[in-house]
Amino acid sequence: MNIDTILQITMLGSGILMVLSILLQQRGATLGAGFGSSGELFTTRRGIDKNLFEATIVLAVIFVLSIFAGLLIPR
């Protein structure tokens, strides 16, 4: 296994996991917010929602760094 293969696997894996973690997060807008009347209060993230949010950030950073590393490595 060379470095290109490792970077491709890292990009693909982190990209797929990032999409899944984004889709698993709760949406903050209801149907009424689409028509201009948002009746929701600001709440803090707790428990699994907070962990999923932080994992999404970590996966996004890994994804971006692996792309930059793939661009910087000479072929």
Average pLDDT, the chain: 84
Which H helix or E strand runs over 30?
Answer: none
* Overall average pLDDT of the 65-70 stretch: 94
Give the separation between CA 23 and CA 4, rounded to whole angstroms. 29
- pTM (two decimals): 0.77
Q: Where are the domains of the chain?
A: 1-19+47-75
3-32 pLDDT, tens digit per residue, is 999 999 999 999 999 999 999 987 765 555
- Name the percent of the chain lying above pLDDT 90: 57
- pLDDT of 34 over the 70 cut: no
Cβ of 61: how many Cβ atoms within 10 Å? 12
